[in-house]
Amino acid sequence: MPSKTQKSLEALLAYVKQSKSRRTTILRGQGEAGHRAAPARGGTHDEKIGSRIDVGEIIKKAGKEFRRYKFQLNSNAEDSTLKKKAAQDSHKVYSTADVEIKVDRTEEEEEQAMRDFEEQMSNNLKE
């Protein structure tokens, strides 16, 4: 049975995939390190999902630039388990994913990049 952290990650990834602009923000590596990629602070999504994806640093691999994204829990989560974990350390990184910074992707490349992002987030999840 998936943990509450894993369920929160799945809900967050579904939330990102619902919106072209959210996907674009992540796939183009937009944003400043330390700021949020999704969901926007405040509003009901932040509390209901109970977690966030923060923008991380730019790293280089094989001569290409990648943006690292970090999965973290929210201290204002509705779920008491997530809230308790976040209260212990709201900056703890539970997972990461590196996305190649690329402005022009075909639709197929975009779909593959999103699948890679989701797979990395799921595979790197540490509780």
**Which pLDDT tens digit goes with each residue over 17-62?**
999 888 988 999 888 999 999 998 877 888 999 999 999 999 999 9
Whole-number Å distance between alpha carbons of 36 and 14: 16
**Helix (H, G, I), strand (E, B), or coil: what is residue 41?**
coil
Instruction: Report the run of H or E that residue 57 belongs to, with start and end.
Output: strand 51-61
**Contact at 8 Å (CB) between 71 and 96?**
yes
**For residue 21, what are the domain limits?**
4-123
Decide if pLDDT at 109 tops 90.
Answer: yes
Q: What is the number of structural domains in the chain?
A: 1
Both tokens of 3, joined, read 């943990």
Could you tell me what percent of the chain has a pLDDT over 70? 99
Both tokens of 26, joined, read 């992540």
pTM for this prediction: 0.93
50 Rama sector, left if φ>0, alpha if ψ -120 to 50, beta otherwise: left
Cα of 118 vs its chain's centroid, Å: 8
**Contact at 8 Å (CB) between 28 and 65?**
no
